Amino acid sequence: MRLLAPAKINLVLRVGPKDSADGFHPLVSWMCAVGLFDTLILNHRLESRPAGARVATPDRISSAAIDARSIQAEDCRVSLHCDDPALPTDGRNLVVRAAELLARLNDDRGETSSSARRSSTARHDENVWEIVPSNRHASIQLEKRIPSGGGLGGGSSDAARALLGLAKLWRLDASIDQLHALAAQLGSDVPFFLHGTSSVCTGRGEIVQPIGQPACKACVLILSGIVTLTPAVYRRFDELTNVQSDGDWSSQPPWDEWIKLSALDLLPKLANDLERPAYDMHPELGRLQQRAQQLLDRPVRMSGSGSSLFTLYDTLPDAARAAEHLREQIHIDRRWDSVAVSLAPKIEDDLAI
């Protein structure tokens, strides 16, 4: 099974004051998938291990959400091979954690009706897990094209695609609610990737409301190569933000009108509250944003907690010309690139969703 996991950008990212109970920040974010993809190849059979390959087993996964009773070290095996040697291929990789969580999903009830699905969700909520069936094995190859740590959600997207793909491969009767619950355990951005290509995400990002696709069809991604660490950017956000938030961050604009706007009409309305802390920590990123805005003569925004920047165009040829212009004009020391990609692309892989 061949799966394409798209990157995302945060067209809007408004952040509220930190919730003292869980340490996360409440958000309002309009997220959109973009046409830059990692590829996952899933095989049901666990391949014989090449020398040096690492195989993740449940006892190497630390997730409090997994009921200890369900851990059967030999029952579930997932091997991950990745073409980026910098990425871990054990339980630190979200794809492996997604597979391990899914392998423990109770699916042995033989129920298929919608009422049965509702009851299975309830059982899942009560954390009733059964032992992992022995056929829930997988060998996964991951080809990375989305830069890691760039605010483009690559790891989250890989994990979400793995959940959907393995549920199909293993013929699980898993409802979207069950997959969503697993996705939310894996990370705040993961649920977005289960639900189409344009959504407003709230809560800590895990409450996903799909909206229409934007009328503008393309964006230029500026892959800055600068490393911004998400928890550190949120911490600087806390330091720079008044404890008394005015609540403005939580107001919801008329999304149905915004999706109809052309790129030049939409861009001035977009905002990312993490830009200030990210540019404060990485002034060279702020300078790159300023320079790109001048060269392209339109607003440039940051995605997520950085370090990728983006701007929008109505068509892909317009975006391709702009990306080329940036490559010609910007000469900076760091490893960086600018690429033109489609916004909210159709994802044509082996998942019929």
Q: CB 159: neighbour CB atoms within 10 A?
A: 27
Q: Helix 94-103 to helix 176-186 angle, to the nearest 10 degrees?
A: 140
User: Contact between 27 and ligand C5P (CB under 6 A)?
Assistant: yes
Q: Which has the closest alpha carbon to 298: 273, 270, 324, 275? A: 270
Identify whether the C-beta of residue 303 lies closer than 8 Å to the C-beta of residue 33: no
For the bound state, the minimum distance from the C-beta of residue 206 to ligand C5P, rounded and expressed in Å, comes to 8
What are the φ and ψ backbone dihedral angles of 203, each rounded to 5 degrees?
70, -135
b (16+ CB within 10 A) / e for 101-110? bbbbbbbeee
The correct pick among 145, 168, 204, 321 for binding ligand C5P (CB under 6 A) is 204
Farthest-apart Cα atoms in the chain, separation: 61
Strand (E) or helix (H) holding 309: strand 309-313
Q: How far is the CB of 188 from ligand C5P (least distance, A)?
A: 3
Which of 129, 234, 258, 279 touches ligand C5P by CB under 6 A? Answer: 234
Residues 339, 220 contacting (CB under 8 angstroms) = yes
Between 113 and 251, whose beta carbon lies closer to ligand C5P? 251
38, 75, 107, 189: the active-site residue: 189
Based on CB atoms, which residue is closest to ligand C5P, 42 or 184? 184
What does the alpha-carbon distance between residue 139 and residue 41 come to, in Å, rounded to a whole number? 8
Identify which of residues 107 and 273 has a Cβ nearer to ligand C5P in the complex.
Answer: 273
Taking residues 169 to 198 in sequence order and writing x for each that binds ligand C5P by CB under 6 A, - otherwise, the string is ------------------xxx---------
Our CB check for ligand C5P shows the closer of 139 and 157 to be: 157
Under rule CB under 6 A, residue 16 binds ligand C5P: no
Is residue 230 near ligand C5P by the rule CB under 6 A?
yes
Active-site residue, 189 included:
yes
24 binds ligand C5P (CB under 6 A): yes
**Contact region with ligand C5P (CB under 6 A), list: 228-236, 242-250, 257-265, 337-345:** 228-236
Q: Is 22 in the site for ligand C5P (CB under 6 A)?
A: no
CB of 234 to ligand C5P, least distance (A): 4
Two structure tokens written together for 302: 């940051």
Q: Compute the least distance from the CB of residue 18 to ligand C5P, in Å.
A: 7
Give CA–CA dist 319/160, Å, rounded.
28
Token pair in block for residue 61: 């996964």
Indicate which single residue of 8, 14, 25, 97 sits in contact with ligand C5P (rule: CB under 6 A). 25
Task: Report the candidate in 14, 26, 18 with the shortest Cα–Cα distance to residue 243.
Answer: 18
Q: Is 346 a residue of the active site? A: no
CB 154 within 8 A of CB 6: no
**Among all residues, which ones are annotated catalytic?**
8, 189
**Residues making contact with ligand C5P (CB under 6 A):** 24-25, 27, 187-189, 204-205, 230-231, 234
